[in-house]
Homo-oligomer: A and B are copies of this chain.
Amino acid sequence: MLRIGEVAARSGVSVRALRYYEEQGLLAAPRSPSGQRRYPEDAVDRVHFIQLLYAAGLTSKDVLELLPCVHTGTATPAMMARLLEQRDRIDGQIAELTRARERLDEVIRVGREHVVADAS
């Protein structure tokens, strides 16, 4: 059983973030007799997964809706719909990022041919 600081260090997020995750219902935190949080070992992996979904643009509410399905391996039709919806949204986001990347590349190519001195 890990203490909160240990989980934070291993997963690369802040202690505050872990308490926030618990508050949002994303990460259960069993307590020691004195009331301190004691996390199972796999909490670190769960945190990584949560972070991945955050980075993909999901909100805490979105994550909360998908987590049961993720951890149990079963899904209701409504959950499946949400999963597909999120996947499509991510696909769209990747497409948008790709377009932005191409535009930036274009600017970079043109810029290389017209480099001027710094304005200091």
Contact = CB atoms under 8 A, between A and B. Distances in A.
Range for the number of chain A residues in contact with chain B: 35 or more
A9 to B, nearest CB: 22
Contacts of A74: 111, 114-116
Interface string A92-116: 0110111111011101101110111
Interface string A44-82: 000001001101100000000010011001111111100
Interface of A: 49, 52-53, 55-56, 66, 69-70, 73-80, 83-84, 86-87, 90-91, 93-94, 96-101, 103-105, 107-108, 110-112, 114-119
Contacts of A119: 76
